[in-house]
């Protein structure tokens, strides 16, 4: 009995330590910033883009890449995933803009040359600055917000609060706390998590055409989260399931082409 008692005490102590480490390092886990500094579009092989430095509401300097839209074409306001940096998404950006579609792509605070440290509130302020930049140059009916993974929560927040034409969500979630709770089933995530990105609450305020794309084999954000968010959304809406798609590989299955068809449609 004494041995069992001490074993339980040791296991409880280990559990408390692990939970404490997760609590302290949760933002490093949610925002795994790639060790990449500022890269100019031309150096990344994307000279079509112009680099601009914006000032967020709280004074951070964040970078956007802008490819001007051709007359009559939409402009995509792009919000990357949590492990992305703009130079790493150039192949997608080239495919997206090849027909004259415009682009404004945001480098979140703390990422690839932008100042500050990421948080939900901070990313939403960065997104608001990127939206204002875009709105100064384009009518709202030309703006399509596109969010990938973590960026889907940012794009949903923008679409819920600002006029746009359409919304594209790729590998989205109901909330980051739902995804984290699913991954860490024995940890009280709902009590500990700071940055929750509740798309499930914001989607009710989105009243524009919606496209959701998700891989059926997504190991990071299981497709059921995207499906659940889809059920909460207003019409008109479309869900595209890629049977063999994972998380970062949906372009191999036609994600950008699918999105371009949606963007160019009625």
Percent of the chain with pLDDT strictly greater than 70: 100
In this prediction, residues 234-250 reach a mean pLDDT of 98
In a shared domain, residues 126 and 84: yes
Q: Is the pLDDT of residue 34 over 70?
A: yes
Residue 9's pLDDT is 74
Residue 164's pLDDT is 98
In a shared domain, residues 246 and 137: yes
Of 6-15, 89-98, 135-144, the poorest mean pLDDT is in 6-15
Decide if 37 is inside a domain: no
In a shared domain, residues 134 and 176: yes
Decide if 234 is inside a domain: yes
The total number of structural domains that make up the chain: 2
In a shared domain, residues 65 and 119: yes
Q: Is the pLDDT of residue 14 over 90?
A: no
Quote the distance between the C-alpha of residue 48 and its chain's center.
23
Q: Is the pLDDT of residue 113 over 90?
A: yes
In a shared domain, residues 135 and 4: no
In a shared domain, residues 14 and 49: no
Of 1-15, 81-95, 169-183, the poorest mean pLDDT is in 1-15
Q: Is the pLDDT of residue 92 over 80?
A: yes
Q: Take residue 222 and report the two structure tokens written for it.
A: 């299981």
pTM of the model: 0.94
In a shared domain, residues 231 and 134: yes
Give the pLDDT band of residue 1 (cuts 50, 70, 90).
low
More confident residue, 105 or 8: 105
Decide if 86 is inside a domain: yes
Q: Is the pLDDT of residue 148 over 80?
A: yes
Decide if 38 is inside a domain: no
Q: Is the pLDDT of residue 66 over 70?
A: yes
Q: Which long-range contacts (CB under 8 A, 24 or more apart) does 106-110 make?
A: 106/62, 106/63, 106/64, 106/77, 106/78, 106/79, 106/80, 106/130, 107/62, 107/63, 107/64, 107/65, 107/80, 108/31, 108/62, 108/80, 109/56, 109/60, 109/62, 110/31, 110/33
* Domain interval for residue 3: 1-30
In a shared domain, residues 85 and 16: no
Q: Is the pLDDT of residue 7 over 90?
A: no
In a shared domain, residues 131 and 241: yes
Give the pLDDT band of residue 100 (cuts 50, 70, 90).
very high
Decide if 170 is inside a domain: yes
Q: What is the CATH number of the domain that holds 78?
A: 3.40.50.1820
Q: Is the pLDDT of residue 3 over 80?
A: no
Q: Is the pLDDT of residue 251 over 80?
A: yes
In this prediction, residues 225-240 reach a mean pLDDT of 98
Q: Is the pLDDT of residue 17 over 80?
A: yes
Decide if 4 is inside a domain: yes
Give the pLDDT band of residue 67 (cuts 50, 70, 90).
very high
Q: What is the mean pLDDT of the chain?
A: 95
| Nearest CA-CA partner of 26 in 196, 242, 233 | 196
Give the pLDDT band of residue 187 (cuts 50, 70, 90).
confident
In a shared domain, residues 10 and 94: no
The DSSP line for the chain is -HHHHHHHHHHHHHHHHHHHHHHHTHHHHH----S-----TTTTT-TTPEEEEEE-TTS-EEEEEEEPPPTT--EEEEE--TT--GGGGHHHHHHHHTTS-EEEEEE-TTSTT--S---HHHHHHHHHHHHHHHHHHS-GGGEEEEEETHHHHHHHHHHHHS--SEEEEES--S-HHHHHHHH-TTS-HHHH-S----HHHHGGG--S-EEEEEETT-SSS-HHHHHHHHHHSPSSEEEEEETT--SS-GGGGTHHHHHHHHHH--
Residue 15's pLDDT is 82
In a shared domain, residues 52 and 16: no
Residue 77's pLDDT is 99
Q: Is the pLDDT of residue 143 over 90?
A: yes
């Amino acid at each position: 009995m004494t041995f069992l008692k001490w074993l339980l005490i040791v296991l409880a102590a280990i559990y408390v330590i692990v939970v404490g480490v997760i609590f302290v390092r949760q933002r490093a886990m949610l925002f795994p910033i790639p060790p990449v500094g500022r890269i100019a579009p031309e150096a990344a092989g994307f000279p079509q883009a112009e680099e601009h430095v914006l000032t967020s509401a709280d004074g951070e300097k964040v970078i956007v890449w802008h490819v001007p839209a051709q007359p009559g074409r939409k402009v995509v306001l792009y919000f990357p995933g949590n492990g992305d940096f703009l130079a790493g998404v150039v192949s997608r950006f080239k495919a997206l803009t090849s027909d004259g579609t415009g682009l404004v792509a945001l480098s979140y605070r703390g990422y690839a040359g932008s100042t500050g440290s990421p948080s939900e509130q901070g990313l939403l302020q960065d997104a608001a600055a990127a939206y204002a930049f875009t709105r100064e140059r384009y009518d709202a009916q030309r703006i399509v917000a596109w969010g990938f993974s973590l960026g889907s929560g940012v794009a949903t927040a923008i679409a819920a609060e600002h006029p746009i034409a359409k919304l594209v969500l790729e590998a989205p979630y109901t909330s980051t706390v739902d995804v984290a709770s699913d991954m860490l089933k024995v940890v009280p995530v709902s009590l500990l998590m700071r940055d929750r990105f509740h798309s499930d609450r914001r989607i009710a305020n989105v009243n524009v055409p919606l496209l959701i794309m998700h891989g059926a084999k997504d190991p990071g954000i299981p497709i059921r989260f995207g499906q659940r968010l889809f059920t909460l959304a207003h019409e008109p809406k479309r869900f595209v399931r890629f049977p063999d798609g994972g998380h970062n590989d949906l372009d191999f299955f036609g994600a950008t082409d699918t999105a371009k068809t949606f963007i160019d449609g009625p």
